[in-house]
Structure 1
Amino acid sequence: MTPPSLQRHWRAMLYVNAAVMLGVFVYKLNLQPYVPYIHLLVDYHFGFIKRALIGAMVALFTDKVPVWLVFAIGGCAWLITAGLFVQLFRKTFGFDDEHLPLFVFTAGSPFFLKNFMFALGHFDIYGCLCAIILLLVPARSLAIVWLATVFSALLILIHHIHLLMYVPTIAAIVVLRYYLTQGATKLNVAVGIGALLGLGALFLAAQFLGTMPIPYDEFVRYLQSRMVDPSRTALIQFAYIWYQPLTKEVQDTWARMPSNLAGVPVYALLLWLHAPFWRFFGGTLRALTDIRHRRIVLAAIAIISLGYLVMFAMVFDYSRWLSSWVTCMILLLHAVRTLPATKGASPIPVEDRKTTRLGWIVTALPRVGIIRPF
């Protein structure tokens, strides 16, 4: 096999990835969007309620919510996220042949856009979308700190678990793109600390003050009043999660722990299949000029990972959490590339047969899942 034919393999992977994503979308259309549909029904009709921002926005435009709106809103969010990521990759690396494998191992990863397609309608993608925007906009003034704060507040109102899921990555992007390049001053440090305190207060309010103030049966009747077809009660069978205390969520998670841990070898294998990406990330980190920058990036990775470990102990959607963690690492790589470096990291080898085989396997995998692998 000649090197030019190996290069053609990487181009072919892009078309296969597109076909796989389309297939996942068609498959998703045949599944019932239980929890995503409820998120479009719950609003602030009874006062400040956690997980109600999206439903409140939908309520501004319609009193009756059709099921297809889940796929319409989720599909638009996916298309915007995918389009902006392509633009981000072009900005950071370009689309020359030597960076094509990196694009396959990121955009084509079953952890990233494919899994967002499978989880269409869930809220995870909004954190990713906000982070990509913050990687694309200029980072020369406090405006990026304010924008990140607004995005983070909106994410917490969409679902308070975003405080652990994407807010740490958003904070890391701001630190790497703004504070490390523009320098710290009394003003911008004070604004940053104030933003963190404000977001922490908002999270506590959502977690402990955003409980449903009405009986469960009345809540279900209200949800049915907003449905185009109230007879489809199966779609709101998970309405109890708005009443479930944190202690019950943790209890359920640990009760499922033995079966969830059975998926760890599969997750480890999936992460190993991305070995070329991890090596490139490590090379990018080692190439940074300032050792202090390297330590800050490592600290950011540790903090982001700690947030996901807390999530793993509290909520059992392990496939989603791991997929979002890998997504955060992909986004963090783009932020790290904005820092001064002695040289660029060695690209993922285009002409290496083992890497090409890994690329094909990653390309063929349609998604990771929501709770358990696949």
Structure 2
Amino acid sequence: MLAELRQNPWRLLLAINAAVIVGLFVHKIQLPPYVPYIHLLVDYHFGFIKRALIGAIVALFAAKVPVWLVFALGGATWLVTSGLYAKLFQKTFGFTATTLPLFVFIAGSPFFLKNFMHTLGHFDIYGCALAIILLLMPASSLLFVATAALFSIILVLIHHIHLLMYVPTIITIVVTRHYLIYGCNRTNVAFGIIAVLVVSALFFAAQFLGTMPITDADFVAYLKTRMADPSRTDLLQFAYIWYQPLSKEISDTWAWLPHNSLGIPVFALLIWLHTPLWRCFSALIRALENDMHCRLVIAALIGVSLAYLVMFAMVFDYSRWISNWAVCMFLILHAVKMLPADKETPLIPAEDQKTNIFGLILTLIPRVGIVRPF
């Protein structure tokens, strides 16, 4: 039995990943949810403001927001996202002994579900979940493009940084699943352009017009009326982010850049540990039967990566950004697999010793973090 585990350890690695996720949840619920909790308190009481959609939805059902709701809502979102991804993997690759190493490398990556558990309650996971839904739903009609536009609008209302974080990946999914497969005509191209313009306009409105119209003292006083326990004033210490201008965020990011850049070698190492996965991704791209599809996919990967580079220059939550970049790569991999190919692509080998070692190391890494590695 031990010899069999050494030759094909992937089921064991999957079980270890599950245990790590449970441990992360137990650890997470013992920590104060500073940023996630305040996002549940902020709504549209004072008019249109940025980062308020989730709080506005919560306000429809709860006049007072308990702290445990952060973990309940975040945990439910994590479970739904995990289930959606399992469904997507089954649809794209299927669950077999041959595909299990690929599943472990993606689902067990410290960039993905484990880091979403570490950042439980943050807004990143909503972009991932909605992108997965787009990968699962039929893409033949304009309804698909309209749904993608609606999802992008929702994400920008949740947090305007989604325009850089997940909207480029959503655009890539729409292009690969709709325009490349079903073709371009005047109607769907015009519809797509209008959708991009609307989402972009909403972003600028949220960024520059969605400012809080009252003083910070009055804002905090209102937030206390939404708290189930107003004595927990420590959970309101991040209220300033609704007043901080973009110029301040950029200056803070560049001030911390020398210190935070020390984590870049760690990010590079984590990306390198995914080498078997990147080789599989590269093989899927090379196997596409249409050269134009291949070139467009590469351009999309560059475009998504450039969007994250802009984020790196603006906001210093580097561990979150690099983790979500990797998640976007995972999702685009599935989109590429759905394109017509002229040959079958070998996946990650199940019995390669080096691959097994990389898989074990990634399994044992519990998460990447929020700002700095680990």
Q: When the two structures are superposed, what TM-score results if normalisation uses the length of structure 2?
A: 0.99
| 8 Å Cα contact 2:284/2:336 also seen in 1 | yes
Partner of 1:218: 218
Partner of 1:36: 36
| 8 Å Cα contact 2:169/2:304 also seen in 1 | yes
How many angstroms apart in 1 are the aligned matches of 2:7 and 2:340? 30
Matched, 1:167 2:167: yes
For residue 103 of structure 1, give the secondary structure of its aligned residue in structure 2.
helix
How many angstroms apart in 1 are the aligned matches of 2:51 and 2:344? 42
Partner of 2:200: 200
| 8 Å Cα contact 2:127/2:166 also seen in 1 | yes
Deviation at 1:344, TM superposition (A): 2.3
Alpha-carbon RMSD? 1.1
| 8 Å Cα contact 1:98/1:350 also seen in 2 | yes
Partner of 1:303: 303
Amino acid at match of 2:12: A
Q: 5+ unaligned residues in a row in structure 1: which ranges?
A: none
How many angstroms apart in 2 are the aligned matches of 1:2 and 1:291? 46
| 8 Å Cα contact 2:8/2:351 also seen in 1 | no
| 8 Å Cα contact 2:288/2:340 also seen in 1 | yes
Matched, 1:62 2:57: no
Amino acid at match of 2:155: L
Do the aligned partners of residues 235 and 2 (structure 1) sit closer, same or farther apart at CA in structure 2, a change above 3 Å counting?
A: closer
* 1:266-304 deviation per Cα after TM superposition (whole angstroms, max 9, x unaligned): 111111111100100001111111110011001110110
Partner of 2:53: 53
Partner of 1:91: 91
| 8 Å Cα contact 2:8/2:350 also seen in 1 | no
Deviation at 1:2, TM superposition (A): 9.3
Deviation at 1:8, TM superposition (A): 3.8
Partner of 1:176: 176
Q: Matches of residues 140-155 of structure 1 in structure 2 within 5 Å? A: 140-155=140-155
| 8 Å Cα contact 1:3/1:351 also seen in 2 | no
Partner of 1:157: 157
Q: 5+ unaligned residues in a row in structure 2: which ranges?
A: none
How many angstroms apart in 2 are the aligned matches of 1:37 and 1:194? 35
Paired residues, what number? 374
* 1:21-46 deviation per Cα after TM superposition (whole angstroms, max 9, x unaligned): 00001110111100100000000000
Amino acid at match of 1:55: G
Amino acid at match of 1:209: L
How many angstroms apart in 2 are the aligned matches of 1:312 and 1:149? 25
Do the aligned partners of residues 3 and 283 (structure 1) sit closer, same or farther apart at CA in structure 2, a change above 3 Å counting?
A: farther
How many angstroms apart in 1 are the aligned matches of 2:284 and 2:81? 24
How many angstroms apart in 2 are the aligned matches of 1:231 and 1:3? 58
Deviation at 1:88, TM superposition (A): 0.3
Partner of 2:115: 115
Partner of 1:359: 359
Deviation at 1:115, TM superposition (A): 0.3
Matched, 1:81 2:72: no
Deviation at 1:4, TM superposition (A): 4.3
How many angstroms apart in 1 are the aligned matches of 2:225 and 2:302? 45
For residue 98 of structure 1, give the secondary structure of its aligned residue in structure 2.
coil
Amino acid at match of 2:260: N
How many angstroms apart in 1 are the aligned matches of 2:291 and 2:42? 48
